[in-house]
Structure 1
Amino acid sequence: MVTGGLEGAGVFGEVTTRQAGDDDAVCGVRPRWVALPETVEEIAAVLRACAERDLAVVPAGGGTKLHWAPPPERCDVLLDLCCMNEVLEHAAGDLVVRAQAGVTIAALSAALAGEGQELALDVPFGEDATVGGTLAAPLPGPRAFRYGTARDLLIGITVVLPDGTVARSGGKVVKNVAGYDLGKLFTGSYGTLGVIAEATFRLHPMPPERRWVVAELGGARVPAVAAALAASQAEPSAVEVDRPDPAGPLTLAALVEGTAAQTRGETLRELIGPAEVSGEPPSWWGQVFGDDVLVEVRFPASGTAAVLDAAAGCGLSLRGSPVAGRVLLEPGRELDEDELAATVSGLREKVEAAGGRVSVLAAPCQGVDRWGHVSGLPLMRRVKERFDPGRRMSPGRFVGGI
């Protein structure tokens, strides 16, 4: 069905389609149409039609992270997956769930909680973030330290390739793409290789108890305390730090889950020093409060002190995991393009000297080097050429203009 008096009505067959408006723009690039498929087959029909007419496509879920990548070089069709919103299968006995890409993380969590299970991802913007977006533009949450990332918990995926071919990997494989692990390729691909249509995840039982151990620490103590917590037999599921003021105090919080959580929390408190053990998380736990400008830093344990110092020296707030080697940074004030570029450059120099990497997830200006040097870029270009030789899928939105 085509609505809204489209020029070229019927281009996408029976798929619900409407004319795009200003609110549908992707980083300022307005598409011509918005297509709203309801099945894998309808996604395939849209992509086949786009391939025949050389139309560029940008997939979208809840739209929470559409601004995280650079603007697309072109965008003819915004592929809105909001109608792909069904939990298709929950095999509670096997701790496995299969869901369509448009299911929100909040809806999925509610469905799983009824069986006492969870997808152990702490996803920001969970009310609106979708399964597909969580894979396409992943952001590890606090408990990635214990359970892994979305990529680690993904055990099967159904994707639609730019020519409309449906491919499956893992789980109940029907058709695969020889030589490629589609789950790993499509996770973090920002919609540049095809469309994630369905995903199958490994689940965990919901823990009967949770305790957070929260303390204020001097930055100099963080590396040693983090190392002790990571090695502790109390087995914390997460250790996070928060420093909203680059010149201010730093708060550390460690989470223990499951049996004897209170006792294990007390054990962690002995490692940390003066701390509070609580059944509720601190207000900042797992949150992203502002993402107009958002910088991600990944680093080895040996680089923890250098990263903390670099963030403070660049005037950036910090939140993330010293045990998983991942923090998010935000500027405390609005920066113009030149200031932001200089800040990122200075930060990158210090972080890379400590063995880490800096990526700019979100920025309103284009004169910022978002990724720095990426050694795997030639391989990534070959993968893009293999999957999307016509450069129709989110062109220009990923590393090196992929």
Structure 2
Amino acid sequence: MSIDITTLARSLDGAGEVRPAQDTDTVDGVTAAAVARPTSVEATSALLREATGQGLVTVARGAGTALTWGVPPERVDLILDTRGLDRLVEHEAGDLVVVAEAGLALKDLQEEVGRAGQELVADVPRERLEAGSTIGGALATAATGPRRLQRLALRDLVLGTTVVLADGTVATSGGKVVKNVAGYDLAKIMTGSYGTLGVIVRAAFRLHPVRPARRFVLRTAPLAEAAELARTVVASRLAPAAVEIDRPAGSDEATVAVLLEGTEEAVAARAEETVALVGGEIGEPPSWWARLPGGDVTAKATATLTGVADLLAAARSSEERHGASVALRGSALGVLHAGLTAPAPDAVAGVLADLRAAAPSPREGTVVVLTAPAELRDGLDVWGPVAGLGLMRGIKEQLDPGRNLAPGRFVGGI
């Protein structure tokens, strides 16, 4: 595909730059031809209008911490580097609301709102956070973490978004106050779409006050007992901020870690009550907290609250069946990550099949491969059973009829 870089650069009207791609400018192994970094929403709109007019395929990139997640795009002509859109637009501390551009690093946003004793409860994996994961990247991959148990996932904290479509249309939904939820669905369909529907350029979020004290209660137990203990804490009146389970590869046991947040006096009392309820001890944050498990392949496994025990059991039995290592870690609410290491592609496929059998339908759970080496990913069913695929394809057709945004990167070739 021929690219007119001069015209692309001219479309920015001085608000950004366009350059030829370098060897490192790839998206999951697919090499780009050019990289653009607009510095305003208007420039982003003009750039996409010109790129689509040239018939180019554009892929948005923030810090690149999840560019290997999902499936490689069919091709990449232009990488749109969102880090030129890095302003904190507005912080209404009194209303617990922040508006920021998509290229702003989450850790920088947290530092800014933290000065007012507030936080965005966006517990993205620590590896990504430390590497500069951006607001747009976290939304595009539907990042989530331990504290979604009490304060929901990142997508639920979005009050409004501004998105640029492939033809340059700037679409805005929602608002910046909690009571205004008009157009909120646009934010939801963009979240987790891997940049295949539009480029998120700005978002407004609901913040929470930072709670002054926290305690961790840790208990290690056999797999079925650990799952039951975790359910017991979730169903209790202890109001945990998070209940996480860590099952190391090859182990017949799992550790349950309960996070309690609040005032010092209340947290201390609730921690003692938690120990009385499930045993264990009050301790330091575990080293694995909010980190992805290691392995050649990383997958995201979801289940119902009662289905977590089945996933833990499936991981253990699958190891024995396929000669694999399967670490499992995540929320007792039923959102976990698996780290797989297996001797051959058919063993990886076998482990995925076992885990999917424990989460037997999109209604009851799913298992999706996030990352895998090319030699293991080829031939794998990365997405597994997916509900509403026809509806998703219809949305893609409506918002990006020319398939100019990261085609093939999302489920069903979207």
TM-score range, shorter chain: over 0.9
The range that moved more, 109-118 or 226-235, is 226-235
Residue in 2 that maps onto 1:368 = 380
Amino acid at match of 1:276: E
Structure 2: gaps of 5 or more residues = 320-325
CA drift of 1:172 comes to 5.5
Residue in 2 that maps onto 1:152 = 156
CA drift of 1:186 comes to 0.4
Distance 1:361 1:165, change over 3 A: same
User: 1:180 and 1:216 mapped to 2: Cα distance?
Assistant: 41
User: 1:114 and 1:84 mapped to 2: Cα distance?
Assistant: 22
Amino acid at match of 1:32: A
**Aligned with residue 404 of structure 2, among 382, 392, 398:** 392
Q: Per-residue CA shift, 1:89-113, capped at 9, x if unaligned?
A: 1000000000110111110111111
Distance 1:289 1:357, change over 3 A: closer
CA drift of 1:11 comes to 2.5
Q: Secondary structure at the match of 2:273?
A: helix
- Structure 1 position 345 matched with structure 2 position 349: no
Residue in 1 that maps onto 2:79 = 78
User: 1:319 and 1:9 mapped to 2: Cα distance?
Assistant: 48
User: 2:390 and 2:83 mapped to 1: Cα distance?
Assistant: 34
Residue in 1 that maps onto 2:322 = none
- Structure 1 position 276 matched with structure 2 position 281: yes
- Structure 1 position 319 matched with structure 2 position 329: yes
Indicate conservation of the 8 Å contact 2:293/2:338, yes or no: no
Residue in 1 that maps onto 2:20 = 19
Q: Secondary structure at the match of 2:300?
A: strand
Residue in 2 that maps onto 1:261 = 267
CA drift of 1:345 comes to 2.0
User: 1:61 and 1:48 mapped to 2: Cα distance?
Assistant: 20
Amino acid at match of 2:413: G
Amino acid at match of 1:59: A
User: 2:267 and 2:176 mapped to 1: Cα distance?
Assistant: 37
Amino acid at match of 2:328: L
CA drift of 1:246 comes to 2.9
Q: Secondary structure at the match of 2:160?
A: strand
Identity %: 46
Q: Secondary structure at the match of 1:313?
A: helix
Residue in 2 that maps onto 1:383 = 395
Q: Counterparts in 2 of 1:3-402, with a 5 A limit?
A: 8-13=5-10, 14=13, 15-124=16-125, 125-127=128-130, 128-171=132-175, 181-259=185-263, 260-273=266-279, 275-278=280-283, 280-290=284-294, 292-315=296-319, 316-322=326-332, 324-331=333-340, 333-352=341-360, 355-364=364-373, 365-402=377-414
User: 1:291 and 1:94 mapped to 2: Cα distance?
Assistant: 42
CA drift of 1:248 comes to 4.4
Indicate conservation of the 8 Å contact 2:226/2:253, yes or no: no
Q: Per-residue CA shift, 1:155-209, capped at 9, x if unaligned?
A: 1101001100111111159xxxx98821011001100001000011000000010
User: 1:194 and 1:156 mapped to 2: Cα distance?
Assistant: 15
Report how many aligned residue pairs link the two structures: 389
Indicate conservation of the 8 Å contact 1:70/1:366, yes or no: no
Distance 1:56 1:223, change over 3 A: same
Indicate conservation of the 8 Å contact 1:109/1:118, yes or no: yes
The range that moved more, 179-188 or 297-306, is 179-188
Compute the RMSD of aligned alpha carbons.
Answer: 1.9
User: 2:357 and 2:293 mapped to 1: Cα distance?
Assistant: 26
Indicate conservation of the 8 Å contact 1:12/1:45, yes or no: no
User: 2:163 and 2:403 mapped to 1: Cα distance?
Assistant: 17
User: 1:346 and 1:357 mapped to 2: Cα distance?
Assistant: 12
**TM-score, with length taken from structure 2:** 0.90
User: 1:188 and 1:366 mapped to 2: Cα distance?
Assistant: 22
The range that moved more, 201-210 or 360-369, is 360-369
User: 1:107 and 1:393 mapped to 2: Cα distance?
Assistant: 28
User: 1:157 and 1:233 mapped to 2: Cα distance?
Assistant: 35
